[in-house]
Amino acid sequence: MIKRTLLSCLALATFGMVHAQCVTSFPSNEGFTSFPVATTGTLANNWSILTGDDLEWWGDDDGTPTADSGPIGDHTTLNTSGRYLYVSAASAVATPAKTAIVQSPCYNLTSLTTPYLTFWYHMDGDQQGTLAVDLNVNGSIISNAWTVSGAQGHRWKQGWLNLA
């Protein structure tokens, strides 16, 4: 059985630990709509914003608090009725080369012949670092399975990762 910890919807660095329950129903979509705004720690649907890393991910639905640094709404609705996760640009500038980690639940991909991950990300501003997806495959960490670095413009872009 192959078990992978990964993410969905918005590009977020994931890092693994084994979860007791794995998602087995596909397609699986996480739109973050049930996630509380301005909260860290354990979120809905077995997602976690890890503490003890350098920076924190935050849930938002009304534009990031730092001017000219992020979206004014989520990708799906393009307005404030949706949700997304972000790392504060002010925090990232103050602490360069730091890490913020959000962890997805475990996904059991054994029933899929061509598993893949798609997600949307928004990286705007001068101080953008690297956004990475790490995978935990049966306890083995694959770091930087997908990455993008630097400013990507003031628009949502789609990431795609083959998980076969």
- pTM, rounded to two decimals: 0.78
Looking only at the bridges linking them, the beta strands covering 22-23 and 106-108 are parallel
Architecture of domain 3-162: Sandwich (2.60)
Three-state DSSP state, 127 = coil
Specify the DSSP element, H or E, that contains 90: helix 89-94
Q: What is the pLDDT of residues 48-107, one digit of tens each?
A: 888 778 888 878 777 776 666 677 777 877 777 778 888 876 665 656 678 888 899 999
Q: For residue 96, with 0-12 CB atoms within 10 Å meaning exposed, 13-18 middle and 19 or more buried, which class applies? A: exposed
Specify the DSSP element, H or E, that contains 139: none
What pLDDT band is residue 7 in, cutting at 50, 70 and 90?
very low
Q: How many CB atoms lie within 10 A of CB 8?
A: 22
d(CA 100, CA 94): 14
Alpha carbon of 7 to those of 62, 99, 117, 127: distances in Å? 22, 16, 7, 24
Instruction: List the domain boundaries for the chain.
Output: 3-162
